[in-house]
Chains A and B, each alone.
Chain A
């Protein structure tokens, strides 16, 4: 518009400066890149004043030092140079420094005193200096120019402080994100592990999670299961540790930053940086080792924590699978034992055979699932009957195996025409040869003649059966025989004895589970005299009833606590 009055040079310049200031400030404030801000500040000011040299020095917080962030022109410090410098507070508070007044500052920074230094500062922070060399015209800066640069310096300082804050926030945000990711990994794996029962899979997933989370390629995970130490997953090592090295790994501190003093060449050979021991119920049962991180960051407290957490998670899961297996194994054993019990029960006569002219009853009560007591009543080829009772030393599966062995020998020998004495010797020799020295069998057996009037027996170390003659009060003890089965070879032949059985005579065979039943205080045994008393009291009852009475009496005496197998045969001639 023509009506506009022409502006004076001064006004035009002032407007230009204002516009520059406005545009620059927008540019700088919007930028979050300090480097961009500094570069622009330097270029704008150098261009504005036409100075051939300029430099921006940034104070290193915490250090009494400055580094050269930007440097243009020749002769001054180069970019990235550092100088040590500590200035008084009044210098740091001054906006514009001139060579005349602050010669020492110029000297320290290595610039001519004709130059000008502008302080880069916010209201409470000193950031550094903008150093501008002498003008090409060698003229000093006008007040106007100084004010303009000062304004730019202030705007730039604010922009830098902002972008610094922004960067710090971004850094904090990233750390937070990373933390969230760490927690997520833990959470996710705890869910994943829960669904796994395969130890190899758990160990493999643990490995990959560690490799990914720490950005590493060298890793090992060693486990101690019942004293046996093995590597369960490994990555990036040249050779697995041998047993000696493994032992050493378990002896290290729970958190070991490897420095070579461990004297474990597996660690140094494979560049392992950190070894962590993991405990379960205070016992170290796993060791995890990790190599250098690809990011070269090393292992701080947070990484150690994470490793421990993830390691414990994997370890607990593995522990869980072990317990599960143990339970399955126990369950299987129990099933097998119950099967063994069924088989063993099948080895005892059931139902109890009847013998013409006799009232017979028998009982076997095992204190465990399987036992070592044995009794039998067998028909012989001559129509006579064999009666046997035995007690294997020890209890449980070993005793039941030996008992089964005896049973088969007896059944093999019964149909053959051998004397009780010879048969006893043979059985003794076989058992002696085939069983450990501490396994014996007390054994009593006898042949009831076809007409039932004679009973010939051999007693190999068994509790003597009691023969109650009708009308008498004290029993005869059937003791004749020889040594216990299995203790030594049959050097001396077994002896036998023969007793005549009359109507009303009562024979009671039993194992030591009867006489050695304990009272609740475990101070006293049931013993023969109580057994005899009990039988005498019920002598007129049936064989079945007599057994019931004896069992009842024992249970009363022991308060129903049974420690040993109880076996009895009661036989009365009609």
Chain B
């Protein structure tokens, strides 16, 4: 298994996922499961803190695409924060930032809800 892990925190009614390592084809399903669980638990306010995310492949980004609209239609959002430049570049190249929230700092995201 590749080096990838997800830790979950709670800030009031907001769930924060701290993801670290490499999010690629092999690890995408781990993130998918975490997001699915949150949706099942009806916690739709989600922050994904990417400060320790070292790499993201298209498949990893696809997981966000698969769930972000669902979460939004349920009155919540998935906000991404604290990306390194390298990771941000991939999101940017694919045109993600113009459509969805990518914030510099987790606090901003918390206040944004």
Residues of A within 8 A of B (CB): 174, 177-178, 181, 185, 188-189, 192-193, 201, 204-205, 207-213, 215-217, 235-236, 294-295, 297
Contact = CB atoms under 8 A, between A and B. Distances in A.
Given A211-B62, A217-B69, A294 B57 contact: no
A217 B98 contact: no
Interface of B: 24-26, 28-29, 32, 57-66, 68-69, 89-90, 93-96, 98-99
A185 B62 CA distance: 12
Contact of B28 (A174, A188, A205, A295): A205
Given A204-B29, A215-B96, A185 B57 contact: yes
A294 B25 contact: no
A212 B61 contact: yes
A83 to B, nearest CB: 31
A283 B24 CA distance: 31
B93 A208 contact: no
Contacts of A295: 95, 98-99
26 contacts: A177-B89, A178-B94, A181-B90, A181-B93, A188-B25, A204-B28, A208-B28, A208-B58, A208-B60, A208-B66, A209-B59, A209-B62, A211-B62, A211-B63, A212-B58, A212-B59, A212-B60, A212-B62, A212-B94, A213-B62, A215-B94, A217-B66, A217-B69, A294-B65, A294-B95, A294-B99
A211 B66 contact: yes
Nearest first, the 9 A-B pairs at minimum CB distance are A212-B61, A208-B62, A212-B62, A211-B62, A212-B58, A211-B65, A192-B25, A208-B59, A213-B58
A262 B26 CA distance: 36
Given A188-B57, A235-B66, A236-B69, A213 B94 contact: yes
B112 to A, nearest CB: 20
B66 to A, nearest CB: 5
Q: Which of A201, A213, A216, A297 has the most CB of B within 10 A?
A: A213
B94 A192 contact: no
Contacts of B96: 215
A192 B93 CA distance: 22
A294 B62 CA distance: 12
Given A177-B93, A215-B94, A295-B98, A189 B61 contact: no
A169 B65 CA distance: 30
A292 to B, nearest CB: 12
Nearest to A188: B57
B59 A205 contact: yes
B74 to A, nearest CB: 14
Nearest to A205: B25
B25 A209 contact: yes
Contacts of B29: 201, 204
B93 A210 contact: no
B29 to A, nearest CB: 7
A188 B26 CA distance: 11
Contact of A192 (B26, B64, B95, B99): B26
A159 to B, nearest CB: 27
Contacts of A185: 57-58
Given A188-B57, A217-B69, A236-B69, 10 more contacts: A177-B93, A181-B90, A189-B59, A192-B24, A204-B28, A208-B62, A212-B57, A212-B65, A215-B94, A295-B99
Contacts of B99: 215, 294-295
A210 B25 contact: no
B38 to A, nearest CB: 17
A205 B26 CA distance: 8
Contacts of B28: 204-205, 208
A178 B93 contact: yes
A247 to B, nearest CB: 27
Nearest to B94: A215
Most chain B CB within 10 A, of A185, A188, A209, A215, is at A215
Nearest to A295: B95
Nearest to A206: B59
A213 B95 CA distance: 9
Contact of B24 (A177, A188, A294): A188
Nearest to A208: B62
A209 B58 contact: yes
A215 B57 contact: no
B86 to A, nearest CB: 12
Contacts of B98: 295
A300 to B, nearest CB: 14
A204 B36 CA distance: 15
> Which of B25, B28, B99 counts the most chain A CB atoms within 10 A?
B25
A123 B59 CA distance: 49
Nearest to A189: B25
Nearest to B26: A192
A174 B95 CA distance: 11
A50 to B, nearest CB: 42
B65 A215 contact: yes
A272 to B, nearest CB: 16
Contacts of A216: 65
Contacts of A178: 93-94
Contacts of A217: 65-66, 68-69
A5 B64 CA distance: 73
Most interface-central of A177, A181, A185, A205 (chain B CB within 10 A): A205
B93 A174 contact: yes
Contact of B95 (A204, A215, A235): A215
A204 B28 CA distance: 9
Contacts of B25: 188-189, 192-193, 205, 208-209
Nearest to A178: B93
